Amino acid sequence: MLRAHKGEIPILYWLLPFIAGIILQVYFTAEGWLQLAVDVFTVSCLLFIGLNNFYNILKLYRHMWIGGVVMHLFLLCAGWLCSYWHNGLNDAEHFARQKANYLIVQVNSEPVHKGIYTRFVASVKRTGLQRKLRPATGKLLVTLVADSNTHLVKYGDQLLIPANYKVTDQPFNPAEFNYKRYLAHQNIYHQSFITRREFKKLQQQTGNTIIAYSLAVRQHLVKQIGLYFHDAGAAAIASTLLLGYKADLSDEVLQAYSKTGTIHVLSVSGAHVAVFFWLITLLLKPFSHNRYGKLLNALLSLTLIWGYAILTGLSPAVCRAALMLSMIIVSKASGRPVHALNALAASAFALLLYDPFLLTDVGFQLSYLAVFGLVVFQPIIYEQFNFKQAYAQKLWYACSASLAAQLITFPLSAYYFHQFPVYFLVSNLLIMLPAEGIVLIGLTFLLCTYIPGVSVICQALSYLLEHLILLMNKLLALIEHWPYATISRIWLSPWQHLVLWLMILAFIYLLLYKRSRELSILLVGTLILCTAFSWSAIQSASEYRMVFFNVKKNSAILFQKGNQAVVLTDLKEKDKNYQYSIQPCLDSLGVDSTVICNANQNLQLPYFKKQMNYVQFVDKSVLLINTALHKTWPSQKISVDYLFFTHNPHVNLRTIKQNFNFKYFIADANNSIQRLHMLKAEGDSMNLKINFLKRNNCFIVASKY
């Protein structure tokens, strides 16, 4: 893009206003914008047609910018309207707009089984009220709770379920993952929890035949990998890496790959499709010697590439690679070369027309940015050094590719994952050959499983594949434990992200043109970020904070003083609820030292003292009202700042009021609904405000000292 002429890559420039329209609709939509967007779209479309018809008469070649403005307005509104119409909530027949006792749904994703829970996405086909059925649209996230892990539902099953769905909860705690927004970007706004007795299977195999067949093939191949492999962890990685099947992947493996900057290896991406394409080209080489052979080669290549894309789950990275390779295959067959950026932009255009919400997908963003960096930035970085030795030049080529991809994706990686792998260059170089070998050997192994009488070859390939995966894991485990392997807790504000993007752009222009202006921008940006981080650290050091978390069935209170903190909780540090709800808050606040204490422990620190149920934190006092306290009331009335009612103690508010003076009363989310209703009724009668955490945001107290 930096070196290409605008006329060489028109599709890329058309894509930008289309993306801007999607962003406006998804993040900044407002009432009354629909009619405005339709009007501007219609007018700009008519203007564009009219200007083209009267181009010479109006002498528009003297004012080229007019056509550009009209075209950009047209594409901007097109992106907005595509995104609006794709949003299921805007459909008049959406199931949430209808009263219903039951729903008829179709399972349209592969069910994921975790113990007694089976989770899947279902499309609502009809709603039922009494005995009347109405057509309906919309998607629903269903969690089936069964007393065994028997696979009760499959893709394509049509089910009758009760209409007891609810709106997905928003994040209740600071820095918590926004699962509500994540599902909304997949057009899912409601979820339902049912038991095996609450649904009835009406039909089977009603889904897309091709997808159903590909899922069945994938399940067969996953079983084959499990049969031939001895190490369950290696089998899970092979299933993920080759087939995109992540259900068996452990959190420890994900953490190791994430901390070393090689998480992309566990995603079926463009590299996998490229290796598959190379294998196809090798197998179909005998057909490429004549005209009809080339046509047959192209058709077979397209069929096999898209078959593999469907088999691996049609992730954004795979779709991007499949579309780009399809364009390359067609261009070669037709003898017309295509610019890489045009192919990249055209594939993005096609995917966004199909599903505008893909723009919000992390995989989509990182995949396209990485390829953009490889196409645009990698040649610039590669030109900075020239080695006489051929092996050194090849090594530098690989390094420049890794640097380009990491450079362009760093701001997004910092935003989503809040960490930076320091040794990403080493880890990517070390696993490059094993990963490519795994893909090549793995695909050959999968093909051989369908050939009868070659079990010996399958055993040999599986042995080699398994040991390559184990070798790759050992290399990454070694790098993971190097000193300062990961810079974690990177939390950037929106304006800091903008400064970081400007710095990256200035750095690339500096490498390209070697001008002082870009160096000045780079230095000023560095100064701004360093000043912002320093000021934030100074501010944090002079603050103390209490956070009463909403962790549903558990209990947690954070007492933070500067970069030190105590977490009073019944959770362990490795528990999922702790990692999901509490750890992100600690990281975002820059806490370096954390002490975890449970309700039965006593603890004394310079800024924190806990004795039984009483907590003194700096100048604030907290008393825990739980099942242990209400049996032993104090002999005289005690004054505290905060009462924390937790774990459903059987005590009424009047008794609490007789024994304690308090400023704030906080009811934890783990109390039963009946107990909370009782507290609310008593509080209303006594004109006492109660802060309820259930289905509400956490309670935060922040002060300076």
- Domains of the chain and any CATH numbers: 6-86 (no CATH), 95-207 (2.40.50), 212-372+417-488 (no CATH), 373-416 (no CATH), 494-532 (no CATH), 543-704 (no CATH)
Residue entry with tokens 């645009």: 376
53: CB partners within 8 A, 6+ apart: none
Say which DSSP state 698 is in.
P
CA atoms within 13 A on the CB side of 188: 20
Closest CA to 681 of 641, 650, 654: 654
For residue 168, what are the contacts with CB-CB under 8 A and spacing of at least 6?
Answer: 141, 179, 180, 183, 184, 188, 189, 190, 191
- pLDDT of the residue at 388: 84
Q: Which of 136, 141, 192 is nearest to 166 (CA)?
A: 192
d(CA 347, CA 623) in angstroms, rounded, equals 59
R_g over Cα of the chain: 29
* Residue 180 to residue 376: CA distance in whole angstroms: 35
> Which residue in 500, 504, 491, 486 sits closest to 418, CA to CA?
491
Mean pLDDT in runs of 10 for the chain (705 residues)?
Answer: 65 90 84 82 84 66 71 91 90 91 91 85 91 91 78 87 91 91 91 90 85 82 86 82 71 64 58 65 66 72 78 69 77 73 86 90 83 86 87 86 86 84 80 74 83 83 87 80 82 87 90 87 92 85 89 91 91 89 90 89 91 90 83 75 90 85 91 90 88 91 77
pLDDT confidence of residue 58: 62
In sequence order, the β-bridge partners of residue 158 are 106, 203
* pLDDT of the residue at 337: 73
Distance CA 51, CA 39 (A): 18
Q: What is the distance between the alpha carbons of residues 80 and 22, in angstroms, rounded to a whole number?
A: 5
Q: Which residues contact 504 (CB under 8 A, 6 or more apart)?
A: 407, 408, 410, 411
Distance CA 142, CA 106 (A): 11
Q: Nearest CA to 312 among 350, 271, 280, 279?
A: 271
Tokens 């609310």 appear where?
A: 680
Q: Taking the CB of residue 164, how many other CB atoms lie within 10 A of it? A: 12
